[in-house]
């Protein structure tokens, strides 16, 4: 493949759990070129991104904490397609990362969760004005898209539903971005869920979980040994219907990440959710 057809990719959060998987996936894709591997972890500065990700050969791309110079460099690369920034960093920094990328004409593909609805709206307005594609995807696994589709269908028939999300205990944000999106998708039907049967008292604050706008309760479990799991539990007289998705390896997200990298250059605005690009 000539360089002209190649998509230059910068991975932000390259030394993290997801970043390392993305480095491997991008390195193995013949239509993508890894241009930069950004991470702020001090002990990983200067290390080869491929070796850090567990590849047998070095990629000759060093880990660096210099995002803006890398965005500027890729933006100036005229021999290739427009650049893509894949972001798996932290809820506190992702908003600024996306703004910086769009300002340089680099398309963000964002897996980092924890953005507020107001931030997503601001970023959407910013991307629209810049006529630049941006993908924010709370969950890149096909299994979760299918679970959410099934949940939306089930919610036409069930009026009571709660969500339990279970994650490793390194996770910074709660509830998970996926659980919030799942509640939003159910809420879009415009029906009232979970009409109270009695007046409830929480004897310990938080016992009934968090209450999403849609009236749906989300319960967050954090334990070592977990990766990422979600149950959507529907209840009705005499029956329980449970949908469950389990992640056993972060490789499950990579087909979705690669699809998003290839699709984002065709967009001119912000799109939220993997289901919109399948
Ligand atoms: N959409 C999806 O399908 C998925 C989304 N996620 C989300 O992705 C995000 C990352 O998850 P995960 O890989 O598990 O987290 P990790 O903590 O393993 O990785 C994040 C990496 O980003 C680094 N980092 C922090 N701040 C910056 C910054 N300003 N610039 C560059 N690098 C930075 C961290 O460094 P340090 O540790 O030194 O702070 C760390 O190396 C989370 O929000 C998570 O919820 C996760 C899995 C799937
Ligand atoms: O932090 C994680 O691990 C994950 N985060 C995303 C979320 O918050 O929904 C996606 C997946 O659940 C893994």
Residue 231 in tokens: 């149950």
Q: How many residues does the chain have?
A: 278
Residue 175 preceded by cis peptide, ω within 30: yes
Residue 81 in tokens: 């397609």
Residue whose CA is closest, atom 7 of ligand 1?
Answer: 112
Question: Among all ligands shown, which has an atom nearest to the Cα of 12?
Answer: 1
Distance from Cα 191 to the centre of ligand 1, integer Å: 35
Q: Where are the alpha helices (DSSP H) in the chain?
A: 17-27, 49-53, 67-75, 94-103, 117-130, 142-154, 177-187, 254-264
Residues 6+ apart with CB under 8 A from 123: 95, 98, 99, 102, 115, 134, 136, 270
Annotated binding site for (S)-2,3,4,5-tetrahydrodipicolinate: 168, 177-178
pLDDT for res 213: 80
Q: d(Cα 181, Cα 108) in Å, to the nearest integer? A: 19
On whether the CB atoms of residues 44 and 69 are closer than 8 A, the answer is: no
On whether the CB atoms of residues 180 and 138 are closer than 8 A, the answer is: yes
* Beta strand 239-247 pairing with 210-211: unpaired
pLDDT for res 189: 87
Q: Is 16 in the pocket of ligand 2 (CB under 6 A)?
A: no
pLDDT for res 4: 67
**From first to last of its 278 residues, what are the pLDDT tens digits of the chain?**
556 689 999 999 999 999 999 999 999 999 999 999 999 999 999 999 999 999 999 999 999 999 999 999 999 988 889 999 999 999 999 999 999 999 999 999 999 999 999 999 999 999 999 999 999 999 999 999 999 999 999 999 999 999 999 999 999 999 999 999 999 999 998 998 999 889 999 999 999 999 998 899 999 999 999 999 999 999 999 999 999 999 999 999 999 999 999 999 999 999 999 999 99
Q: Which residues are catalytic?
A: 167, 171
Please give the model's pTM, rounded to 2 decimal places: 0.97
Distance from Cα 21 to the centre of ligand 1, integer Å: 12
Residue 212 in tokens: 């999403």
Q: d(Cα 82, Cα 252) in Å, to the nearest integer? A: 26
Residue whose CA is closest, atom 29 of ligand 1?
Answer: 93
Q: d(Cα 130, Cα 36) in Å, to the nearest integer? A: 23
Q: Say whether 21 sits in a helix, a strand or coil.
A: helix
Residue 172 in tokens: 């910074």
Going 122 to 34 to 260 to 54, the CA torsion angle's sign is negative
On whether the CB atoms of residues 264 and 172 are closer than 8 A, the answer is: no
DSSP category for residue 207: T
């Amino acid at each position: 493949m000539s360089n002209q057809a190649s998509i230059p990719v910068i991975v932000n959060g390259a030394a993290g759990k997801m970043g390392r998987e993305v480095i491997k996936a991008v390195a193995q894709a013949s239509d993508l070129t890894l241009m930069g591997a950004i991470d702020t972890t001090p002990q990983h500065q200067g290390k080869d991104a491929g070796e850090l990700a567990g590849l047998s050969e070095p990629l000759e791309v060093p880990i660096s904490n210099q995002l803006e110079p890398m965005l500027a460099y890729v933006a100036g690369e005229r021999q290739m397609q427009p650049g893509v920034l894949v972001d798996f960093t932290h809820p506190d920094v992702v908003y600024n990362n996306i703004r910086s990328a769009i300002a340089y004409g680099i398309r963000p593909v964002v897996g980092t969760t924890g953005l507020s609805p107001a931030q997503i709206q601001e970023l959407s307005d910013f991307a629209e004005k810049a006529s630049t594609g941006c993908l924010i995807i709370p969950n890149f696994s096909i299994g979760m898209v299918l679970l959410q589709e099934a949940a939306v269908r089930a919610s036409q028939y069930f009026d009571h539903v709660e969500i339990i999300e279970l994650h490793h205990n390194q996770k910074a944000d709660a509830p998970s971005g996926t659980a919030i999106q799942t509640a939003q998708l159910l809420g879009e039907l415009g029906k009232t869920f979970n009409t109270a049967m009695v007046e409830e008292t929480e004897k310990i604050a938080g016992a009934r979980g968090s209450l999403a706008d849609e009236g749906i309760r989300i319960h967050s479990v954090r334990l070592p040994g977990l990766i990422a799991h979600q149950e959507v539990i529907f209840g009705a007289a005499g029956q329980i219907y449970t949908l469950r998705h389990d992640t056993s390896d972060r490789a499950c997200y990579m087909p979705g990440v690669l699809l998003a990298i290839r699709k984002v250059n065709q967009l001119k605005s912000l799109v939220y959710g993997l289901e919109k690009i399948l």
